Structure 1
């Protein structure tokens, strides 16, 4: 048996609604990313977006053993196939929650991001776009590479103590994490697969607070908001913490995982990227 949490907007739908599936990180839960457990998750802002934009939001729960992500062995996937779980959730949402099969979006953070990469490789036909925060792609030899282009938004922090922005592996993560590609190489993989030009639209986000020692810059490749685009948010001096203006991690967590950017909401940035995109037919 697998579990998930569902948020549906209170007002009636005018036709079928978009679906956003949220994948939590290691040690977290569906409850935590939906704002029901400590610490406060920036991804819980999806609840506000669901009500405002008439979106169905579904938070999957990894359960015992964590996600079978893109580094999972064949044996682990045979016992617990989380991409099959995501696929089944999409089918259920389309059948039971009036979801538009052409507007299904996936966002994952940390280990959930590693699963989002795997889902984007294995079931691209079921996704209109995906986003990953604080998570790098595996090297080509370590996992199946993508073969179908998808709109992708990747968010990385240069001082992340768990997922190295420049790739590789920190010695102190021991067997918990495998070597990864860099954040920029992860974005490049999807950009090149989509055949997008090297030149990007670049925006340096304005500083909202003098005490915030991080700085965020956004790159977008592809001109059409309703077409193939790849986006990258680079957060200088940011740690393993999702950016948020309103959902701030406690001081002691920042001491452990590094600084949290306060110039934008990760969920709002993802929705802005997702909202005009539809699955290719």
Structure 2
């Protein structure tokens, strides 16, 4: 009986977790809007698409602010992405003056190119690239954001979608940042554009879903597509960006010795058009957002590093690429 209950709970967690699910099993609460948030919707490709937009205080179109689009993980929503970051991107947006948009994937997933039949977004080949492009157009036209300062970040399934955007519409993006995943094999072999783009990647060495050295994405027996190693991922972007200098790995201060992680940074520089490539390796880190909300038990998704705040790291990177 104990084993049966344990297996049932494991199945519930499995359904919740598929590819970085940001579903709060057992502790889910109704969505509460953050100060400065507005809900919006638009029709793209005949589908109603929804999003949350966060505006800094006393917003004025005359400021021509930057735009940051943050993509949730599989099974999540835009609001879940806000909560994963503990509202940290909003806090920085209020301080540094930019707009954050948290879009919702169809069926809580993004069509990131893995072609998985289990998810509607991928099974029906939903055009999420067109959706993100339409979002950019909307905020350029209606909020007068600076079209040359559009950034995208994403976690897990949202990170895979961010890679896809960097492959298909890099000319619309100033820089991208990916957390919790390397590049899918499908995209690695079929990245359509060679336009240089600054890219930051953060990945845990002990991620139980995403293998550091590449292979099958999986949770338990469920296979979720394949990724290349993080080394191949970074080397691909370094080569595409024309980077000729690889700096020595630098360990950052162990700000929280109790979290069981250490963070190091590898940087590639002397790249085309002033772009660069940066990898943050989180030794001991799991399928988590450093400094973020622990959305599932540590025994399921691994450790969350408190040595860095991914929100601050990502915006600092973006702000260096105006």
TM-score by length of 2: 0.77
Q: Distance in 2 between the 1:86 and 1:107 partners?
A: 12
- Unpaired segments ≥5 residues, structure 1: 36-40
Larger radius of gyration: 2
For residue 101 of structure 1, give the secondary structure of its aligned residue in structure 2: coil
Cα distance change, pair 173–119 in 1 and its aligned pair in 2 (3 A): farther
For residue 179 of structure 1, give the secondary structure of its aligned residue in structure 2: strand
1:89 aligns with 2:135: yes
Deviation at residue 231 of structure 1 after TM alignment:
0.5
Please tell me whether the aligned partners of residues 154 and 179 of structure 2 are also in contact (alpha carbons under 8 angstroms).
Answer: yes
Match of 2:321 in 1: 277
Deviation at residue 221 of structure 1 after TM alignment:
1.3
For residue 153 of structure 2, give the secondary structure of its aligned residue in structure 1: strand
1:115 aligns with 2:161: yes
Match of 1:48 in 2: 91
- Unpaired segments ≥5 residues, structure 2: 1-47
Greater RCO, 1 or 2 (C-alpha within 8 Å, sep 6+): 1
Structure 1 residues 150-187: Cα deviation after superposition (integer angstroms, max 9, x where no partner): 10001111100101111111565545411111112111
2:146 to 100, 108, 113: 100
For residue 177 of structure 1, give the secondary structure of its aligned residue in structure 2: strand
Structure 1 residues 75-119: Cα deviation after superposition (integer angstroms, max 9, x where no partner): 948651111100000000101112100000000100000111111
Q: Distance in 1 between the 2:217 and 2:111 partners?
A: 22
Q: How many corresponding residue pairs?
A: 269
Q: Distance in 2 between the 1:208 and 1:94 partners?
A: 39
1:241-252 to 2 correspondences below 5 Å: 241-244=288-291, 247-249=292-294
Match of 1:158 in 2: 205
Cα distance change, pair 120–43 in 1 and its aligned pair in 2 (3 A): farther
Per mean C-alpha deviation after superposition, the further-off stretch among 98-107 and 181-190 is: 181-190
Cα distance change, pair 71–171 in 1 and its aligned pair in 2 (3 A): closer
Q: Distance in 2 between the 1:228 and 1:46 partners?
A: 23
Please tell me whether the aligned partners of residues 124 and 150 of structure 1 are also in contact (alpha carbons under 8 angstroms).
Answer: yes
Q: Distance in 1 between the 2:279 and 2:300 partners?
A: 25
Please tell me whether the aligned partners of residues 43 and 266 of structure 1 are also in contact (alpha carbons under 8 angstroms).
Answer: no
Q: Distance in 1 between the 2:235 and 2:279 partners?
A: 10
1:131 aligns with 2:171: no
Structure 1 residues 249-276: Cα deviation after superposition (integer angstroms, max 9, x where no partner): 27x6211110111011111101010113
Match of 1:5 in 2: 52
RMSD, matched Cα: 2.4
For residue 99 of structure 1, give the secondary structure of its aligned residue in structure 2: coil
1:237 to 280, 284, 293: 284
